[in-house]
Amino acid sequence: MKSPWTHARDQRLMAYQAQGLSARQIAQKLGTSRSAVIGRSIRLRGIVYQSNIDSWKRANAKRKKGPRKPKAMRRKAIAQMAKDLRRGIPRGEAMLRASSGALWRDIGGYLGISSKAAHAAANDWKKRSPAKREQLAAKQRARKQRRKKA
């Protein structure tokens, strides 16, 4: 994608800054956002703030550490969830149990749904009253028994 910032536009930005206009006023004159003006002026002047450097260092340190949930732990949680589902534990309950060791992306991938859908389904299950949970669990068990007979 071509940048909206041309050489002429950069020159106008620098001239407006030299006149002492605020980022909001410059943005209005250039027909862009205040954030775009601030970002471009920082890049043009080559200014790097200490807060940016600190943020980069934190991000790099976190990246070096690796994932919060190691792959082996995630695999084990998904395997346990599969076992729970085979034993007849309700899907929402099994998903909640698995979420302590696996990522929502992994849970959703196993069930063939998106990570967002998996998270929403588990939250719906958690919000239900215990009586409603038991009622749904009984329905699931009955469905499973009918499938076995057929």
The DSSP letter of residue 6 is -
Residue 86 has pLDDT above 70, yes or no: yes
Encode pLDDT of 47-77 as tens digits: 666 777 788 888 888 777 767 788 899 999 9
Instruction: Report d(CA 89, CA 75) in Å as an integer.
Output: 19
Please state the rounded mean pLDDT for residues 23-34.
92
